[in-house]
Amino acid sequence: MTLDLRIPWVEKYRPKSFDDIVSQNIAINSLKAFIKKGNMPHMIFTGPAGTGKTSAALIIAKEMLKGENYYRDLLELNASDTVRMDYVRSVIKDFVNQNMIIRKKDSLKIVILDEADNIPNQVQQALRRIMERASTKVKFILMCNYINRIIDPIISRCAVFRFVNLPKEKIVERLKYIAKQENLSIPEDKSELFFDTLFFISAGDLRKAINTLQMSVALDLLENLDVNEILKISGFMDQETLEKFIEVFQAKDFKGARKIVNSIETYDSRNLIRQLIGILPRINLQPNVLNILLAFFGDIDYKISQGADDQIQILALVAEIINQVNK
């Protein structure tokens, strides 16, 4: 059987109904109630990436907009890419105010804005005014990872639904289902480690886990399965490099640690931080310093997110770990 990898598996296996969405019972039961009553408010879906927010929004749209209405009366866009002031004033405003002459009076229109927490505050204010003035038959669904980045006037006009991190067993279960549907040949003796690695890479993001699975197939990594190759391609260190870090940390060898950092061809600094946190229990740290060290990890992560030089920050982190090693 020849695999067709042209279609992204995240779309091919996207939930088609509320019952297909994994581990979001509280949010989904409330959404089902709104759909049943036909009385839909503006909504905000908030929570980590890959937990079903987009799928839930699209399912609502398909339930509320039947037939050709789905394509005519739905505006879906990634807010962080396209929603700037001129876009709000033109495309979104025009869609909301479209002539209703040829439409039924009770016809509904839905605007789905993904990554709404990346919209600048000034643009959010303009969006809020559009929401205020829009017909009661125009509903907005905003999706975000961080609701604290949404201005209060928008939050107060929406019903908020919180999506939670997916447990490991549910992500692995979905990955195994896809592997079975695609008739993948995964070595039995490495299967558990393979799925554990996909979960680790995903950090609870089912979308990322599915993309990594498809990437592994596309790059022919399953036949001679080596999870270290999957880790490296995904921006993580392999197990051998992690073991070297443990050795130099225990020896309080900063020069050796710097040599390891410099030897890594490409890495994602945040992934590296995750892996270093993971090996802390294997390092002989001084008593009662773990919380202090984790706070330092947080400071480094924040500085990197604000544009600080990755390598300088990682070396500062490595130096602090060594400083806290008990010898």
Instruction: Report how far residue 104's alpha carbon sits from residue 100's, in angstroms, rounded to the nearest whole number.
Output: 7
**Cα 99 off chain centre by:** 37
Per-residue model confidence (pLDDT) at position 1 = 47
In CATH, what number does 239-323 get? 1.20.272.10
Residue ranges of alpha helices (H) inside 203-309 are: 206-218, 227-233, 239-250, 254-263, 269-279, 290-305
Which residues share a beta bridge with 143?
45
286: DSSP letter: P
Task: Provide the residue-wise pLDDT of the chain in tens; the chain has 327 residues.
Answer: 456 667 889 999 898 888 888 888 888 888 888 888 877 889 999 999 888 999 999 999 988 887 777 888 898 888 766 656 666 667 788 888 775 545 555 678 899 999 888 888 888 888 888 888 877 888 999 999 999 999 999 999 999 999 988 889 999 999 999 999 988 888 888 899 999 999 999 988 999 999 999 998 888 888 788 888 999 888 899 899 999 999 999 999 999 999 999 988 777 888 999 999 999 999 998 888 899 999 999 999 999 988 999 999 999 999 999 999 887
Question: Which amino acid, 80?
Answer: S
**Given this structure, which CATH class describes domain 168-233?**
mainly alpha
Per-residue model confidence (pLDDT) at position 273 = 93
The 8 Å CB, 24+ separation contacts for 272-277 are 272/236, 272/237, 272/314, 273/297, 273/300, 273/301, 273/314, 273/317, 274/203, 275/236, 275/237, 275/242, 276/245, 276/317, 276/321
Q: Is 265 helix (H, G, I), strand (E, B) or coil?
A: coil
Domain 24-162 shares a fold with domain 168-233: no
Describe the crossing of helices 53-64 and 25-37 by its angle, rounded to 10 degrees: 10
Per-residue model confidence (pLDDT) at position 101 = 46
116: DSSP letter: G
Joined tokens for residue 262: 């410099």
Q: Please state whether 243 falls in left (phi above 0), alpha (psi between -120 and 50) or beta.
A: alpha
Q: Where are the domains of the chain?
A: 24-162, 168-233, 239-323
Decide yes or no: CATH 3.40.228.10 for domain 24-162.
no
First CA to last CA distance, the chain: 57
Instruction: Report how far residue 79's alpha carbon sits from residue 114's, in angstroms, rounded to the nearest whole number.
Output: 5
Per 3-state DSSP, what percentage of the chain is helix, strand, and coil (rounded to 5)? 60, 10, 35
- Pick from 182, 223, 188: nearest CA to 1: 182
